[in-house]
Amino acid sequence: MSERKVKSIFIQGPISPAFIAESLLHHSRKKNIGAHSMFMGQVRNDQINDREVTGIEYTAYEDMANETMHQIREDIFANYPLTCLHVHHSLGHVAAGEISLFVFTSSAHRAAAIEACSVLVERIKKEVPIWGKEILDDGTGKWKQSTP
């Protein structure tokens, strides 16, 4: 059993560029890191039935999502020589053009950071109980279907 504690991955509203920059700044002080890999999921203004998506309203089963993310985190650390792994996901309204998912991995070498980040994003999308309702420009909504 791991000694890492279950952390909340959730942030209310969009993930700000300042938050992302602060994460980078914090990690620049760690001299054993040689590579970082990041993924930022941004809300698109897709067209659905001649309506434009203006944002997404995110909801989650938070306790289960955090527990699931904890297990994924443990699996990733067991399979990749990472120094750090961070996941932040929005809850609530995120407008088109704003960031709703920030995944950040660090390691001594680039291959581990890049591969772990990619695997992590795919597992989040498939396994973590987070849902998004696309809000359309006429005020209606449509539950988002996950895509690879």
Q: What local confidence, expressed as pLDDT, does residue 67 receive?
A: 97
Question: What is the number of domains present in the chain?
Answer: 1
Long-range CB pairs of 111-118, under 8 A, 24+ apart, other chains included: 112/35, 112/80, 112/81, 112/82, 113/35, 113/36, 113/37, 113/82, 114/35, 114/37, 115/80, 116/37, 116/76, 116/79, 116/80, 116/82, 116/85, 117/37, 117/38, 117/39, 118/37, 118/39
pLDDT, tens only, 23-79:
999 988 888 999 999 999 999 999 988 999 999 999 999 999 999 999 999 999 999
Angstrom distance (rounded) from CA 18 to CA 59? 23
The pLDDT-based confidence of 1 (bands split at 50, 70, 90) is very low
Residue 61's domain spans which residues? 19-25+32-42+54-134
> Residue 90: which CATH number?
3.90.1170.40
What pLDDT, in 10s, does the model give residues 107-139? 999 999 999 999 999 999 999 999 999 999 999
**Residue 80, in any domain of the structure:** yes
In a domain, 147, yes or no: no
